[in-house]
């Protein structure tokens, strides 16, 4: 069964950038949550807050890691597409007349 992958290069790049931004944002948030000062609270309240904080720091870290993985996966796909396109373009250039032998192959926007 075939799978159709129809992604304009611009869309792929945009998605890659957005997942990267999401990852960066979440990285900042788990660190921020981790640093919340518990001074001025009783020991019982601090224990409860730390339990709460630990859960959601871990969750934000996991969400951050996921966003990083999606970003990296898209980056890989984008790179593969670029390599494939470049190889195809080189093959096409080889079929062209001699005067095009040094034509530049560029990535699409």
Partner 1 sequence: MGGGLPPLIGAIPEMECIPAAAKRIARRLRTIHENVDEVTTWADKRSADGAGWTGDAAEASDHTSTRYARRIAATGAALYAGIEAAHDFESDLEALDKERTELDTARITLNDEIRAAAAPPVTAPALPGGTLSQLLPGGASPMPLLLDPFLATQLTLRQIALSSAIRTWGENVTAAEERFIAALAAVDTYGEGAAAVDEVEYTANLGAHVDNKLDDLVKKGVLPADVAAMTPEQLREYLIDHPETAALLLRPGPTANNKDGTLDSIIEDAKENIGTAQDLFDTLSPRDAALIALLYPDEVGNMDGAPFPVRADANLVGVIDALDRTEYALAQDPSGDFRTELEDSRALYQSIITNDRQIILFDEGHQRIAELHGTIDANTKNVGVLVPGTFSDISNFQVVADRSQSFVDADYSGGLAMISWQGGEFPPSLIEAASKGYADDLAPKLASFSEVVQAEIDHSGAGPDTRTTYAGHSYGGAVVGLAETYGLQADRVLHIESAGMGQHVDDPSDLPASQDNVDRYSMTDEDDFISLVQGAPGGHGADPDTFDGTTRLATGLDKDGDPIVGLSHSHSAVFQEGSEPWENMFQTFTGGTVTTFDPSEAIVLKGDSPHIDEDSDLGKQKVDID
Q: Is 41 in the site for partner 1 (CB under 8 A)?
A: yes
Q: Is 65 in the site for partner 1 (CB under 8 A)?
A: no
Q: Is 94 in the site for partner 1 (CB under 8 A)?
A: no
Contact 91, 105 (CB under 8 A): no
> Cα separation of 91 and 82, whole Å?
14
Provide the binding-site residues for partner 1, judged by CB under 8 A. Answer: 3-8, 10-11, 14-15, 18, 22, 25-26, 28-29, 32-33, 36-45, 48-49, 51-52, 55-56, 59-60, 63, 66-67, 70
């Amino acid at each position: 069964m075939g799978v159709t992958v129809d992604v304009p290069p611009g869309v792929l790049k945009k998605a890659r950038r957005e997942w990267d931004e999401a990852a960066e944002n979440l990285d900042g948030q788990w660190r921020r949550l981790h640093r919340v000062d518990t001074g001025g609270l009783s020991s019982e309240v601090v224990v409860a807050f730390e339990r709460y904080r630990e859960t959601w720091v871990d969750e934000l870290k996991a969400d951050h890691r996921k966003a990083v993985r999606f970003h990296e996966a898209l980056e890989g796909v984008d790179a593969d597409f670029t390599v494939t396109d470049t190889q195809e373009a080189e093959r096409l250039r080889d079929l062209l007349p001699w005067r095009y032998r040094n034509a530049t192959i560029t990535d699409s926007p």
